[in-house]
Amino acid sequence: MFENLSEKLERSFKLLKGEGKITEINVAETLKEVRKALLDADVNYKIAKSFTDEVKRKALGANVLTAVKPGQMMIKIVHEELVSLMGGSMSDVDIKGSPAVILIAGLQGSGKTTFSGKLANHLKSKKGRQPLLVACDVYRPAAIEQLKVLGSQIGIPVFTEEGNNNPVAIAKAAIAYAKSNSYNVVIVDTAGRLAVDEAMMKEVANIKDAIKPQEILFVVDSMTGQDAVNTAKEFNDRLNFSGVVLTKLDGDTRGGAALSIRSIVEKPIKFVSSGEKMDSLDVFHPERMADRILGMGDIVSLVERAQDQFDAEESRKLHKKIAKNQFNFNDFLSQIGQIKKMGNLKDLAGMIPGMNKMMKNIDIDDNAFKSIEAIIHSMTPAERENPELLNGSRRKRIASGSGTTIPDVNRLLKQFEETRKMMKMMTGGGKNIARMMGNFPKN
């Protein structure tokens, strides 16, 4: 999301390269470029100006140590201000209550229903809760059906009332049902419109008054830029919501909403969402987002995602197999599956410091492992267990069956053998898999 902003900020910091100290003149030139970068990213003008004014005040007042270059000091100050601009610290969702009630609001098309499913999945898998989803969009039958489909995917029930067109009554009935059936979180998905209108606002306000939710989360499509900020303000004026959710962060957006919305409505961003998968939801951490904007990556989030897929027992078994040089293509396929579960590959690459710059012109999609998986799936069970069986005729058959070439199969086998040797020599050798993937040609 912040690729262009990151590049422009990096160029602005280069203006201080070689300077012996921060002065009124060189800091003004740098911050002119910083302000321009923020405006190009669709950040509100007043916020961009206030931001650069504060950075300038701190930069000119900073005691720059001899060991710290002016450019490094400027990056540090900008990083601190970005964190502050986006809320300072993580704000968790409030799930106290019997049951806790969470109201989801926003415009039609913002991703409310998908987010409702993702939130339910998050609370079930990460917080150990028993959520109940409630379909209160009585005007769009597809929304009720969509929620049912999402609920079935994640094993969470959806409360509906056929023939009842009163969303307030449905919401109240759902809470009564949750109390009598031991559900401790109720997530109410409400109707949206294509634009803010009085009927929608009145309806969602009536639902709020009737069920008195602990949390009201406003869901906004980050691709709508400044319109997202304006819409958030209108909703907040009527609902006084408790937090913001930014969706579609994987889209072609300039990111200004994430940097502006917190200052305008003075409510925390609680979640960020990308893609359609039910596990592609992240708690919003201002410091981590600032790291990514400034090209520092987000190793903490990357490790957390890896830990979500980590199986201690499987890891112990794998370690034994590596030690005995018995790591095979079944194990390799399993490792690929775990990497894919961690999320969008381009998003994962962006969490590694410096990787965005290195892969600027390289398109990474979720089919990056496709040819490798096709080759492995074209092997027989015996061949996957014992790669040593793969002679010339078998390789020819595998290439034909996988839609690749014999050189592709040979290259994978050669790299697999080299990796297996290295993994035997090293603890934590699994990191070589990533390198091996990078060397394999993408079809």
DSSP-assigned states of every residue in 212-239: --SEEEEEEEGGGTHHHHHHHHHHHHHH
Q: Which SS3 state, helix, strand or coil, does residue 331 take? A: helix
73 vs 9, 85, 87, 286, 332, CA distance in Å?
14, 18, 22, 20, 44
Q: What is the pLDDT of residue 177?
A: 93
Cα–Cα nearest to 140, from 191, 87, 86, 65: 191
Q: What is the pLDDT of residue 343?
A: 59
Q: What is the pTM of this model?
A: 0.64
Q: What is the pLDDT of residues 300-339, one digit of tens each?
A: 455 555 555 555 566 666 666 666 667 788 877 777 776 6
- 254: tokens are 């300039």
CATH number of 3-85: 1.20.120.140
Q: What is the pLDDT along the chain (443 residues), one digit of tens a residue?
A: 455 566 666 666 666 655 556 667 777 877 888 888 788 777 778 888 888 888 888 877 655 544 456 667 777 788 888 888 888 878 888 888 889 999 999 888 888 899 999 999 999 988 889 999 999 888 877 888 899 999 999 999 999 887 788 999 999 999 999 999 989 999 999 888 777 778 888 888 999 999 999 999 999 887 776 777 788 888 888 888 999 898 877 555 556 766 777 878 888 889 988 777 888 788 888 887 777 677 654 444 555 555 555 555 666 666 666 666 677 888 777 777 766 666 555 555 555 444 454 444 445 555 667 888 899 999 999 999 888 899 999 999 999 999 999 999 998 888 788 767 766 665 444 444 444 444 444 44
User: Strand pairing of 281-283 and 269-273?
Assistant: antiparallel
Q: What is the pLDDT of residue 37?
A: 79
For the chain, the C-alpha Rg in angstroms (whole number) is 26
- 185: tokens are 């979180």
Integer Cα distance of 403 and 281 in angstroms: 35
- 127: tokens are 């917080």
- Choosing among 1.10.260.30, 3.60.10.10, 3.90.1170.50, 3.90.226.10, the CATH entry for 309-439 is 1.10.260.30
Kindly list the domain boundaries of the chain, sorted by start residue.
Answer: 3-85, 100-296, 309-439
Q: What is the pLDDT of residue 8?
A: 64
CB 299 within 8 A of CB 398: no
- List, edge to edge, every strand of the sheet that includes 215-221: 158-159, 131-136, 185-190, 100-106, 215-221, 243-247, 269-273, 281-283
Looking at the DSSP bridge assignments, the partners of residue 247 are 221
Q: What is the pLDDT of residue 288?
A: 78
Integer Cα distance of 344 and 342 in angstroms: 7
Q: What is the pLDDT of residue 420?
A: 73
CB 294 within 8 A of CB 9: yes
CA atoms within 13 A on the CB side of 287: 8
Q: What is the pLDDT of residue 66?
A: 45
Helices (H) and strands (E) in the chain — how many of each? 21, 8
CB 239 within 8 A of CB 211: no
Cα–Cα nearest to 368, from 421, 307, 436: 436
Helices (H), 86-215: 112-127, 141-154, 167-180, 198-211
Q: Which SS3 state, helix, strand or coil, does residue 179 take? A: helix
Q: What is the pLDDT of residue 101?
A: 94
- 392: tokens are 């010339």
Integer Cα distance of 156 and 118 in angstroms: 11
Looking at the DSSP bridge assignments, the partners of residue 159 are 134
Contacts 24+ apart (CB under 8 A), 318-326: 318/430, 322/420, 322/423, 322/424, 322/429, 323/424, 325/420, 325/421, 325/424
Q: Which SS3 state, helix, strand or coil, does residue 380 take? A: coil
Integer Cα distance of 133 and 180 in angstroms: 15
Architecture of domain 100-296: 3-Layer(aba) Sandwich (3.40)
Q: What is the pLDDT of residue 438?
A: 46
For residue 324, give the DSSP letter.
T
Q: Which SS3 state, helix, strand or coil, does residue 136 take? A: strand
Q: What is the pLDDT of residue 51?
A: 86
